[in-house]
Structure formats: C-alpha cells, structure tokens
Structure 1
Amino acid sequence: MLSNTIALGIAFCVMLLISPRGIAILHQLKFGQEVRDDGPQAHLKKQGTPTMGGILFLIAISVAILPFIKEKGVLPAYLLGLGFGIVGFIDDYLKVVKHQSEGFNPKQKMAAQIIISLLYIAYLYFYSGHTTAFLFPFLKDTEVTFGILFFPISLFIITATDTGANFTDGIDGLCSSVTAVIVFFLFMADRVLLGNAQLGALPGAVLGGLLGFLCFNAYPAKVFMGDTGSLALGGFVVAMAIQTETALYIPFFAVIYFMEVLSVILQVGYFKITHGKRIFKMAPIHHHFELLGWSETRVVTIFTTITILACFFVAFVLEIT
C-alpha cells in the first residue's frame, strides 16, 4: 500500500511538472490531432490540438515505477504496457508527422503487438512461476487452469482489451477517466479482495500518471494521448488483469472497452450484410451518443459512472466468491 501511494504521488507530480513544457514541445513539433471530416462537427475545433500526449504519462509512470521495479510482478506488466506504447508511438508518428492516413501498416502493427504479447505470456509461463489459471466468473472458489492453452487465450484477451482501450480514446478525458477507475479496481482486487500482491507499485504509478494527465486532457483538452497512450493503457490494464487472475472478468469491469469494441464489430458487420445500412449513427459508440446530442462531458460522466458501478459489481462478486 505504501509503495503504491508513493508511486502515485511521484507520477502525479512528474505529470504536473513536465506537461506544460511537454505540450508546448508537441505544439512546436506540430504533432497536432487530425480530425475526421465525417466525425461529429464539434470535433473540428480540436484540429491541431497536440496529440501523442501518452509520451508524457509514460515518462511519469516510468519515473514513478523505477524505485519499485524489482517488486513482484512489476516488470513484465510495465514492459507490456511500454511495448504497446512504443507501437502506438510509431503509429502516431506516421499519421501525424509523415501524414500517412493509416499510420502503421495494419499487418505490421498487429505483428508487432502479437510478438510483444507472446514475449510477455512466455515470461509468465516459463520464468515467473505464474499460474496459468483464471478465476471463472460468478462460480464460487472456481479457477480454470489452462496449461499450454494459456498462450492463445491470453493472446486473445490482450488483443481484445488493447483494442477496446484504443477505441475508447475519442472524447476529451474519456479513456483517461474510465481507465483510472479500472486501474483502481485492479489495485483493490490485487491487494484487498484477492490478496495476491502480484502488481507491486504499478497500479499506483499508472493511476498517478492518469490523474495528472486528466488535468490537461479533461474537456476542453489541451492534449490528447493518441495511440501512444491508449495502447499503453490497454497493455497495463490487461497485464494487471492477467496477473491477478481476473482476466475473464474484463468484459464486466472494463465494460466500456467491451461496448466500444462490440459497437464497431456490429456496425461493420451490419453494414456489410445490409449493403450500407447502419445500427449506430457512428461507431465507436461514444460518437453515436455525441450525434444524438450528448455533450462530451455528459458522455464521459455517464461512461465513467457505468465503469464505477461495474467495478463495484465485480468487487462484490469477488468478495462473496
């Protein structure tokens, strides 16, 4: 508990110290957000707002975690998030600086994420002595041990969760707020509900970095995290879930991630089947609500509230089982 409190304080203070200058540098480098013409019209005013701000909270998290890097479970989870952040940085750089509309070649991007994921899974499986079991949702005292199937199952969970975090980033403060709640829940699950102590000071560092980032990312945002930030956050979250054996609960406590991915799948699938019809006004689903007339702050408030309630529900289930 003490190490997490210290890491949170360090990450938060580092964010407050480096962000004003960091945002100014992103401005100078012309790392500005490019807004889709077919998106909500209110987003057009965001054109040119610095993106790739995920670099800032990755720096803050790295500084905060350094004194605790030898704690159990910290290094593999940190490296997974950092690795995904680097992939996101390359994608952002190609989009924003090189003006390549698709960014990282999709196949190359997926290949890089798969390699990083497999290295992480292999470390847990072969070297860390970590169990290959996950808690089975809603069944008392039930764990499912997957053995060698831990590889494909974990790879699927990592890919899906990281995609969900990436899709959730699209409104000022949305991904930051939702993920901050999820990280706090995972910390409580690790230390209080399950007593595994598998995450060390990482939750505190990530939470501190996010809270500091929100000071500049909340509406109206002065900086966006970009794929650099959203992919890194997805990596941190899914690593913490896997190491606390709560990965099968992700669709429940990270329900917004799940909703965002599902909305895109449904939209694309329905569009193809019906040759042009749509279920939602726009996907991911947060844009659908914007086009219904919801303000960005309303979307963030409601989605964050849903996440809080979902985390309370899962905490209750874990407590009674």
Structure 2
Amino acid sequence: MSISLKSDYYFLGLLLVAFLFSCLLTRFFIKFMVNYKYGFDLHKKNKEKIPEMGGIVPVFIISLLFMLFDFRISLILFLTGLVGIYDDLFKLSPFKKIVILGIIGGIIGYLIFGLDVKTLLMILGVSIFSNFTNMLAGFNGLEIGLGIISAFFLGLLLLLNGEYEGFKLVLLFIVSYLGLLLFNKYPAKVFPGDVGTLPIGAFLVTLAIKYSIPEFLIIMIPYIIDAFLKYLSAGITKREDHKPTTLREDGKLDPGEGYLSLPRLILKIYPMREYELVLLLWAIGIFFGILAVVFKVIR
C-alpha cells in the first residue's frame, strides 16, 4: 500500500467523505439517468420510471479511494463494473460474462499472487461469485442490502484474523454502498444494475482469497442456494420463457410458475409483501454471517 491507514482520524474522514459523496452523487444520478436508462418496478401498482445502473456511483467512489491504498483491489472493482455497464446496456450472454469475469479474476490474481494456486482460485471465484451476487436480485434493496451484510461479516472475520487493512477496506466498501441503499431500499428510487451487483461478489471473493478466509463460503450460502435452485430448474427451458414474480391484489407477491430461486421458494411456502421478503432474506444472510463468525471462533 502506498498510503497508510493507521491514522484513525484520517480513515474516519474517508468513511464520512465516501458516504456523503455516495448519497449526493446517487441523488444527482437519479435525476440525470431517469430520462436515459430506466425501467419499471414489476412489484408496484404505480408504474413510474425508475433509473437503472445506480451502482455506478459506489463503484466509482470505491475505485477512486482504493487507488490510494491498493490499485489491484481498485482494479477488480473497476473492471467488473465495466462488465456490468456493458451488460446493462447491451446484454452479455451468460457464457461470455463468465469467461470475461474469469479473465479479469486471473489478471488481478496474477498481479496479487503471481503464478500461484490462488490465481486459479481468483479465476474461478470472480467468475462464480460475481454472478451469484448478480443473480440473487429483483426486489427493492435486496442485492445491495445483502451485499452490505455479507461484506460486514467478512470484515468481522478479517478483524478476528488481525487483518486490519482488509477490515478497513471493507468499511469503505460498506459506507459507499450504504449511500446507494438509502435510495434503493423499498420503495426503490433507483435500481443498481449489473454495474452495482457484479463488483460485490468480485470484491468479497478477492479479499477472502487474499487474506485466506475459508469461512467466506458460509457467508455466501444464501447465494449458493439461490444459484443452485436456478440452475436446477432453469436448465429445462430458457429463463426468459418463465413468468416473472408479480404483485397480487392483496399487496403480496405471486411467485408465478417461473424457475425456482430462493425468493420464489420462500413465496411458494409463505406469500408476503416485497419488503417483508427482503427483510427475511437479509435475516437469512445475517444468520449465515453469524454462523461463519461462530465457526471461525470455535475452529
């Protein structure tokens, strides 16, 4: 690292700057983007324009700040963010997305570890977990909130390992994404887009590999379950052929007849409102985060 993070006042100032800029820039982005790139919320009766690609803001802020400390971590966020932008605008095929993310993981892995088995783990980890944090999505605040929760518990594991530099990087990541969450939570005023969700998995798995945190896999269990259900059920027919989750007259969500996912499975068992579903999924993320910390302590 070219700059030390040892000064608590300096670091607290960076946290405050990152959070405030995230809030202010996201607010500006919403007003600017609403006429250029927007979508409609399927789970609301009022079909208002909701600007997309709001994840550009925290990814931009984090990429800049991390340049001060470790350009390789900055680069993984920046490059996966670029993939997200392209995917949001032009749509990459799943295969191309996996390959490109794997290449990025390999490049950053080589810069960090050289010719090492961890570089191979980076190729696999970035391609897989970037997609996982992009797939468990579709409800106001879900992707960003769960990403923040996952990052928080990874940060605790880093702290328990004595990896204070990594812990502080996680805090910068959290406060930057928290600014977006304030506008993405129910009812959402902005959607994060792939530019906001792909870098989450890339960042988390990069830190987990760099600092050797195997308990990271426990934190990611909700994502793993969701991906398993989707691949298990959507392999029969194309996903776009399935009926999306929709809003019922009583305000609860209808899981429809589409492919299985963790949210859809929950709705099939117990229908609920969107914000209730998101809170439950956040709670599941917290449960596995606590489980990872407990496993770390007793191991």
Cα contact 2:121–2:209 (8 A) shared by 1: no
Structure-1 separation of matches of 2:150 and 2:192 = 17
Q: In structure 2, what residue type is equivalent to 1:318?
A: K
Q: For residues 103-146 of structure 1, what are the alpha-carbon distances to aligned partners after superposition, in whole Å with 9 as ceiling and x for unaligned?
A: 124444333212211101111222xxxxxxxxxxxxxxxxxxxx
Q: Which of the residues 219, 223, 227 maps onto 1:261?
A: 227
Partner of 2:102: 114
Partner of 2:138: 170
Q: How many pairs are equivalent?
A: 275
Q: Which of the residues 32, 39, 50 maps onto 1:33?
A: 39
Work out whether 1:161 is the aligned partner of 2:139: no
Structure-2 separation of matches of 1:266 and 1:4 = 45
Q: In structure 2, what residue type is equivalent to 1:311?
A: G
Partner of 1:77: 73
Give the drift of 1:65: 3.8
RCO (CA 8 Å, sep 6+): is it higher in 1 or 2? 1
Partner of 1:93: 89
Higher mean alpha-carbon deviation, 1-10 vs 194-203, is at: 1-10
Cα contact 1:10–1:64 (8 A) shared by 2: no
Work out whether 1:320 is the aligned partner of 2:298: yes
Instruction: Provide structure 1 residue ranges, at least 5 long, that are not aligned to the other structure.
Output: 36-40, 95-102, 127-146
Q: For residues 187-234 of structure 1, what are the alpha-carbon distances to aligned partners after superposition, in whole Å with 9 as ceiling and x for unaligned?
A: 2222x2101335264212210112111110000100000001001111
State the Cα RMSD in Å.
2.7
Work out whether 1:125 is the aligned partner of 2:92: no
Instruction: Provide structure 2 residue ranges, at least 5 long, that are not aligned to the other structure.
Output: 1-5, 243-256
Q: Which of the residues 260, 274, 286 maps onto 1:308?
A: 286
Q: Secondary structure at the match of 1:28?
A: coil
Cα contact 1:85–1:231 (8 A) shared by 2: yes
Q: For residues 26-68 of structure 1, what are the alpha-carbon distances to aligned partners after superposition, in whole Å with 9 as ceiling and x for unaligned?
A: 1122x01267xxxxx63675663111001111233245445xx
Structure-2 separation of matches of 1:155 and 1:148 = 12
Give the drift of 1:299: 1.4
Work out whether 1:220 is the aligned partner of 2:220: no
Q: Which of the residues 267, 271, 291 maps onto 1:293?
A: 271
Q: In structure 1, what residue type is equivalent to 2:16?
A: G
Q: TM-score, normalised by structure 1?
A: 0.77
Sort the Cα spacing of 1:45 and 1:83 in 2 relative to 1 into closer, same or farther, 3 A: farther
Structure-2 separation of matches of 1:47 and 1:258 = 33
Partner of 1:188: 156
Q: Secondary structure at the match of 2:92?
A: coil
Higher mean alpha-carbon deviation, 77-86 vs 152-161, is at: 152-161
Cα contact 1:251–1:257 (8 A) shared by 2: no
Taking the TM superposition and a 5 Å limit, the aligned residue runs for 1:36-51 are: 42=43, 45=46, 48-51=49-52
Cα contact 1:12–1:60 (8 A) shared by 2: no
Work out whether 1:206 is the aligned partner of 2:173: yes
Q: TM-score, normalised by structure 2?
A: 0.82
Structure-2 separation of matches of 1:20 and 1:233 = 21
Q: For residues 160-194 of structure 1, what are the alpha-carbon distances to aligned partners after superposition, in whole Å with 9 as ceiling and x for unaligned?
A: 2111100122110001111111111122222x210
Sort the Cα spacing of 1:77 and 1:65 in 2 relative to 1 into closer, same or farther, 3 A: closer
Identical residues among aligned pairs (%)? 23
Structure-2 separation of matches of 1:296 and 1:121 = 38
Q: In structure 2, what residue type is equivalent to 1:85?
A: G
